[in-house]
Structure 1
Amino acid sequence: MCYSLPGSRATSTVALASLALLIAGLARPQTPAPSAAWSATSPAATRWFSHVEMLAKDEMRGRETGSPEHRQAADYIAAQFKAAGLAAGTRAGYLQPVSFTSRRLLEKESSLALVTKGAAVPVTLGEQAIFGMRIDPAATVEAPLVFAGYGLQVPETGMDDFAGLDVKGKVVVYLVGSPAGVPGALSAHYQSAWVRAETLRRLGAIGLISIPNPQATDVPWERSSANRLAPAMALADASLGDSAGQQLSVTFNPAHADLLFAASGHTFAELLALAGNRQPLPHFALPTSVRAHVAVEKRAVESQNVVGLLRGSDPTLANEYVVLSAHLDHLGVGAAVNGDAIYNGAMDNASGIATLIEAASAIVAAKPKRSVLFVAVTGEEKGLLGSRYFARNPTVPRGSIVADINMDMFLPLYPLRQLMVLGLDESDLGDDVRAVAAAVGIGVQVDPQPLRNRFTRSDQYSFIREGVPALAMKVGAEPDSPEAAIEAAWTKDRYHAPSDDLQQPIDRAAAVGFTEVVGRLAVQVANRPTRPAWKPASFFRRFAGTR
């Protein structure tokens, strides 16, 4: 279905005139953008917000992966790609089908208990703990527990939370976080679900119980617990899975974590105090076993990535591809908060899709030398699954993808004065970002909160795993500034909540500026004479050999 919105690029001469100004700016990257172009009342702002409205309205029911509304969103994006002048990015059209297995916990038929000296203490599901469905759990597990500190092995620093522990056939308990001696990039990588699963498998452990650090948690327990029965998903292609060998996954409420340490000689308060100062944690066997019965309902689900292609203008470079990515899925319909059960996902991530669509026209008109793929991926909220599938099964030769620029929840909540760039100093894409930012008169900052592991928590990480230099950008704020307080309040109150909707305050001028920066950056990367490369000191450079 082809959608036509008021003021769309297909019908508005004002929009075309505004677009011409943006294209002229892209052709002269050393000329700062006129401040008048970044206006909340401009045609560009109207067009950008029209996409957010379309994708985040209540009728879209939160764009749950595999839902009819998600398919409607995918068709809308495909129509917008076509209107922008992008060719279909797959042999079959704009949509790349992705097959999933959906898992839903049957909680009334499931149970969890801690067993000490033969006495079983029931654990209340929802209040005290949650079963994780991103793995394919065993129906029954009974195994000893061991506490492995942060649960990390970091060879680069000599850190080994498993030293002296026998974890074979056991379930590992760990506190989310890392000590001060582990740099941010290493911490983010080794805390990823993929690497944790590999570590457990190599050591022979059969499952894990994670304890979130309440001092560094984005979503309060009450909100995440309320949605614990939402279906989880895995890619149907088992070769793309990361959890082979895991039989049990549990998240334990930190407010009840002392249940795990009963008779161990340690308290959770003691461990939390050490973690609060990023000190090393002890690791020890627990005098307790876990007993779990897990009932699961499974079904097959199909969802879609959306792929648009701009063929490069240079015959030599056109067979290399710059990817612009953003995820189109969100959380669907879940537990009601203040009477609202629709998780609209306006900022997360209708905003990124709107920028992906709006940047396309300017990039098309700029006729970059390399080809550009515009990829709206599914299943990000299920564990970066759509981007994982695309990065392993791209619609172009895998080795021809030279960079990924990802847009996820970039948060235009206040004026755009600087960019916060995840991965800024990991590859020479950071040099391109600095040049583009200087051209429009804004600053650049690294992630001021590296312990949130954001560099490995969104779709750019799927490309990084395949050796592709990648980054993600957001509207930046100085630490302890009023803007940082606005962002913190948004995360606390609206992140993964129904209030991430169309009624929230949005700085549309910042969204226009961010979209222009994305367009400029894509053109600059597509026109540079050399392929982007990891910096020699980057931890992630090691993945370049996987291509």
Structure 2
Amino acid sequence: MLLPRLLPASLLLGLTTLAACQSQTATTTSAAPTAAADLTPEAQATTPAEAISAATIGRYLQAVSSDEMLGRKPFTTGEERSTQYLADEFKRLGLQPGPEGSYFQPVPLVEITGTPAPTLQIKGKGPALSFQYKTDFVSFTQREQPQVSVSNSPLVFAGYGVVAPEYGWDDYRGLDVKGKTVVVLVNDPGNAGQDTTLFKGKAMTYYGRWTYKYEEAARHGAAGVLIVHDTKPAAYPWSVVLSGAISPKLRAQTTNKGADKCALEGWLTLDAAKKLFQAAGQSYEQLYAAANTKGFRPRPLGGLTLSGSIRNQLRRQTSRNVQAVLPGTTRPGEYIIYSAHWDHFGVGKAIAGDSIYNGAVDDGTGLAALLSIAEAFQKAPQKPERSIVFLAVTAEEQGLLGSAYYAQHPPYPLNKTVADLNMDMLWPYGQMKDLTVIGYGQSELEDYARAAAREQDRYILPDQQPETGMFYRSDHFNFAHVGVPSLYASGGFEGRTRGKDYIAQQRQNYTTNMYHKPADQFDPSWDLSGIAQDAQLYFRVGQRLAAETTFPQWRAGSEFKGARDKSMGGR
């Protein structure tokens, strides 16, 4: 694909005209505020509508998702261009750099480009199995070594690979997996609706995340761990696993160079797993049923062993988060963070003649909202009393690495951080009636969101697919993990003019045909007024938080409340 010059003036003018035509003013309601988080008339009056509009969103969105950004992949020219663009925009808007005097926070990472052996060899008493790379399995490693291998590693089935004392669950109970390869199911017990009394029922817990399963297997000393892919509980097709696995993988640099990780991590297709279980004298259906039963005991897989290897190329380099701050007028030492991730997948395998993975929706939309909100705060006649931090993080697509680094090396104290308001994948399908809150029930930030939604004549909706574990799949999770109350919400269920079915069709089309593919690129026909609507709502939530002296709390029973209580004890 030819790379055009970045946003010529004529193109910007045309985009602005188009987006302005799409823009609609959110309907307001005269319903009386009922919560402490309701917006004051003063806050409402300081909302410069022209700063957050479809036109503004479109200008920023087309810039960050243009071909010249080369898919915004860390360690590439695309990173240099996109992060410099963001820093330049923050500077243009008059925002100050971070506490070290820079708009960039260095994030040391290692890029591991692994080339697995073409096959995984499975041996036992019967005929040997030979699983083919990409067709039957994918594998990778976090060990920073030129080559890793497992040889004749005994295979064991450990259910979901979960150790959760609070649920009375231990899939590794009585099982010694040192030197062995563990096979586990995707997601967590109960999520598929077999027994809604297990864990949180259909709502995925952190134990359902694939990253957790690798960590738990490593804690038990396993040589390898393979997750069985099943599209429904995984919430994404095999093509998504494949696209993420065959590209170079970024990891956080560690002092032991990944020596405490499993030598081999990966996925099996469901068909390959069924063949494996059959060779062990068992069926997938039997093992699945057993794994979803209280009292499950792990078991060897019929004397089967696995052999496989990976050759690695290593590249250590520093990526960067982009940060800027608007200092508060009266309490500059207290911070509200707006976050979005700047990275995507760069230039990769061509699909339909296009090799640039632009990431327009994922997460160009979040970046466009981030910049629009920054512009709105600068244009507001009344500046915020608390400081507002605008943070674009790296390597979200590689495992939330940039936000994890920020959370472990915070430029601003966590116990002085009021909240994180995260934006990821906003939908370009027009204004919405709903505001869907991912992880609903976690914190008082939902009260602030409800008040802002009421002003737009919208209703709050809990996540309609909690089994997909979206609360653990974007950058707000790393803030929640260290105790900072976090909000991750957007409209995406019921369109204001086209209803629910249209939105469902558009989202399904995106998931099937665009998600993590070159097709996720800017489309001039998109109706960006809904993204502007969400950005306006987030802006108003931030205004309210900035005007208060209190801190929003996690709700009783939230797994993140303990970390916050501990952090705030040192204030």
1:84 paired residue among 80, 93, 99: 93
- 2:41 alignment counterpart: 28
Q: Distance in 2 between the 1:313 and 1:185 partners?
A: 45
Does 1:128 find its partner at 2:143? no
1:207 paired residue among 211, 215, 224: 224
How far residue 252 of structure 1 moved from its aligned partner, in angstroms, is 0.7
Does 1:500 find its partner at 2:513? no
- 1:412 alignment counterpart: 428
Does 1:536 find its partner at 2:556? yes
How far residue 533 of structure 1 moved from its aligned partner, in angstroms, is 1.5
After superposition, give the CA deviation of every residue in 1:279-325 in whole Å (9 maximum; x if it has no partner): 667742112111111111111222221101011111xx321111110
Does 1:189 find its partner at 2:203? no
Does 1:347 find its partner at 2:361? yes
How far residue 157 of structure 1 moved from its aligned partner, in angstroms, is 1.9
Instruction: Kindly report which structure 2 residues correspond to 1:29-428, keeping only aligned pairs within 5 A, or say none.
Output: 44-107=53-116, 111-117=119-125, 120-134=128-142, 136=144, 139-142=148-151, 143-180=153-190, 181-183=198-200, 187-193=204-210, 195-222=212-239, 224-225=241-242, 228-238=245-255, 244-271=260-287, 283-287=298-302, 288-314=304-330, 317-364=331-378, 365=380, 366-428=382-444
Q: Distance in 2 between the 1:195 and 1:377 partners?
A: 21
Shift in alpha-carbon separation, 1:238–1:327, aligned structure 2, 3 A: farther
Partner SS for 2:106: strand
Shift in alpha-carbon separation, 1:186–1:171, aligned structure 2, 3 A: farther
After superposition, give the CA deviation of every residue in 1:230-268 in whole Å (9 maximum; x if it has no partner): 1101122448x9983322102111122123213433222
How many aligned residue pairs are there? 527
Q: Distance in 2 between the 1:136 and 1:129 partners?
A: 21
Partner SS for 1:318: strand
After superposition, give the CA deviation of every residue in 1:424-445 in whole Å (9 maximum; x if it has no partner): 3111111111111112221111
Q: Distance in 2 between the 1:5 and 1:402 partners?
A: 39
How far residue 172 of structure 1 moved from its aligned partner, in angstroms, is 1.3
Partner SS for 1:319: strand
Q: Is the 8 A contact 1:402 1:469 kept in 2?
A: yes
Using structure 1 for the length normalisation, give the TM-score: 0.87
Question: Which 5+ residue runs of structure 2 have no aligned equivalent?
Answer: 1-5, 27-37, 191-197
2:492 paired residue among 459, 476, 479: 476
Q: Distance in 2 between the 1:238 and 1:59 partners?
A: 36
Does 1:443 find its partner at 2:471? no
How far residue 389 of structure 1 moved from its aligned partner, in angstroms, is 1.0
Shift in alpha-carbon separation, 1:184–1:358, aligned structure 2, 3 A: farther
Q: Distance in 2 between the 1:238 and 1:29 partners?
A: 51
Q: Distance in 2 between the 1:269 and 1:212 partners?
A: 14
Q: Is the 8 A contact 1:135 1:249 kept in 2?
A: no
Shift in alpha-carbon separation, 1:175–1:545, aligned structure 2, 3 A: same
Partner SS for 1:245: coil
What amino acid sits opposite 2:178 in the alignment? K
Shift in alpha-carbon separation, 1:374–1:311, aligned structure 2, 3 A: same
Partner SS for 1:131: strand
Shift in alpha-carbon separation, 1:282–1:265, aligned structure 2, 3 A: farther
Question: Which 5+ residue runs of structure 1 have no aligned equivalent?
Answer: none
- 2:31 alignment counterpart: none
Q: Distance in 2 between the 1:540 and 1:398 partners?
A: 13
- 2:449 alignment counterpart: 433
Q: Is the 8 A contact 1:175 1:212 kept in 2?
A: yes
Shift in alpha-carbon separation, 1:526–1:251, aligned structure 2, 3 A: same
Superposition CA RMSD, Å: 3.4
What amino acid sits opposite 2:310 in the alignment? V
Identity fraction in percent: 32
Q: Distance in 2 between the 1:223 and 1:338 partners?
A: 17
Q: Is the 8 A contact 1:126 1:226 kept in 2?
A: no
Q: Distance in 1 between the 2:293 and 2:407 partners?
A: 37
Which moves more between the two structures, 384-393 or 413-422? 413-422
Q: Distance in 2 between the 1:546 and 1:232 partners?
A: 34
Q: Distance in 2 between the 1:489 and 1:273 partners?
A: 32
What amino acid sits opposite 1:213 in the alignment? D
Q: Distance in 1 between the 2:434 and 2:210 partners?
A: 31
Shift in alpha-carbon separation, 1:487–1:33, aligned structure 2, 3 A: farther
After superposition, give the CA deviation of every residue in 1:381-420 in whole Å (9 maximum; x if it has no partner): 1110111111111222333222111101122324221111
